[in-house]
Amino acid sequence: MGWSKPAHPEDQRLCGGRKRSATGKLVCITGGLLCALRNSEVCSPQTLVTFARLRHSVRRAVMRASESGGKDSAPRWLPSLETLTSTQGDANRFEVLPCFPLPLPRAALPGAKRSLNVWEPRYLEMFDDLMCAGRRHFAVPRLAATEDGTRLAETAAVFKLVDVREAEGNTRRGLVCEFDVGMQPVRLRQVLNPEAFADKSTYLRVECEDLHDLDRDVDYSLEERCLLFAFGEVASLRSRVGDPLRRYERGVGAHGGPWIVDHGDLVSITEDSVGMADPSRTGLWRVAGLWQSYCERRLVAMRQQRERDSLEVKSSTGASELLLAREADAALLMEDTAVLMHKILQANSHGLRLQLLQRAAEDEAARLAAALAVLTAVGGKPPA
């Protein structure tokens, strides 16, 4: 499926994007200005700090407005585990699955492959129980430590164990496990033994049900084409602005020694990757994964730029504030990406998933367009 803009005038209007609020426009514009000015030769650290503060203030305001905007506008969580009590559940009506909650900085999307190194006794017990019972599936909800306590996302991916082997070279037992992420997310109805998470006596068990789309008979072919066009706009703008990611990065290994990280395999949004994308019901999860990889690539580039900044501006007035602003900007991107993937996973509508990705792509295109305009006017290096 190509990503060229639909030819019909009405289709073009629909693909032209939603109307943003004045605050939403300011987020995109300040983001582009910050990225461009940050790499411009004519901008002082004090100016960058001012723009960074403005962007973060506006972005927080948008997030607060979004969180109070309705049932589909914010990620949904179960009540904190500390407030729940044990229950028997109803195994005759709903499926009961073992539960392995994870912070998941990179969301586990349906159709993906994941691996885990397992050392904690309760999860070693979980895998032993699964294999003894001839079962291979368990729920993996996103885990968050909040002011209200430890919370699990209401929607979870279902992992299928495809390979397991004993970890080698360690004095304690461990497992190296490979998984396929199932195509059908589940909604957690309740946690049957919530106290087990805190005392670590055993693994959690959850009562759950399959999450089915409510719009299975709706044709979204136009919206799917519009999403590809929005991704294509990002690819086009990104190629004009430039890609600041450096393939090799020096890091620190597990034992404290130097380590060279190769980012050559990080996926980006390009004309080729968009041209091969399939935003249909069966293919949309790969498109969401493409967006998540693109954001991860941006985060790596931001980290690399911060390291360069720390060497170039260490003696400048406001240098520490500039570096903190850089870290805050990266943290916001990480948070925004995690929230977006959470909302996509919990959506019980193909149309809503398309809409969420469309919004993200339009906002990124606006940010890149603002950055490109500034770079054209004042010159500079590509922004992250």
Query: Residues 370, 373, 379, 384: is their CA dihedral positive or negative?
Result: positive
Residue 89, pLDDT score: 79
Query: Residues 111, 115, 120, 125: is their CA dihedral positive or negative?
Result: positive
Residue 231, pLDDT score: 96
- Per domain, the residue ranges of the chain are 77-210, 220-378
Q: Which 3 state secondary structure label does DSSP give 249?
A: strand
| Residues contacting 35, CB < 8 A, separation 6+ | 367, 371, 383, 384
User: What confidence tens digit (pLDDT) does each residue in 267-302 have?
Assistant: 889 899 999 999 999 899 999 999 999 999 888 888
DSSP H helices in 21-153: 22-38, 45-67, 121-132
CB 101 within 8 A of CB 143: yes
User: What confidence tens digit (pLDDT) does each residue in 101-130 have?
Assistant: 999 888 999 999 999 999 999 999 999 999
Residue 372, pLDDT score: 85
Beta bridge partners of 118: 175
For residues 74 and 69, give the distance between their C-alpha atoms in angstroms, rounded to a whole number.
8
Residue 102, pLDDT score: 94
CB 218 within 8 A of CB 140: no
Structure tokens at 192: 């049957």
What is the crossing angle of helices 284-312 and 350-378, to 10°?
Answer: 30
* Token pair 């699955």 in the structure block, residue: 97
Model's pTM, two decimal places? 0.81
For residues 189 and 206, give the distance between their C-alpha atoms in angstroms, rounded to a whole number.
7
* Token pair 């009540």 in the structure block, residue: 79
The residue count of the chain comes to 384
What is the crossing angle of helices 350-378 and 221-241, to 10°?
Answer: 20
Residue 47, pLDDT score: 56
Structure tokens at 293: 């990889």
- Other CB atoms within a 10 A radius of the CB of residue 135 amount to 13
Residue 255, pLDDT score: 66
CB 138 within 8 A of CB 99: yes
Per-residue pLDDT of the chain in tens (384 residues, 90 and over written 9): 455 544 444 444 445 545 555 545 555 555 555 555 555 544 555 555 555 555 555 555 544 454 444 445 689 999 999 999 999 878 788 999 999 999 988 899 999 999 999 999 999 999 999 999 999 999 999 999 989 899 999 999 999 999 999 988 777 899 999 999 999 999 999 999 999 999 999 999 999 999 999 999 999 999 999 999 999 999 999 988 887 777 777 776 666 677 788 877 778 898 999 999 999 998 999 999 999 999 998 888 888 888 777 776 665 556 677 778 778 888 889 999 999 999 999 999 999 999 999 999 999 999 888 888 877 876 655 555
- Per CATH, the number for 77-210 is 2.30.130.40
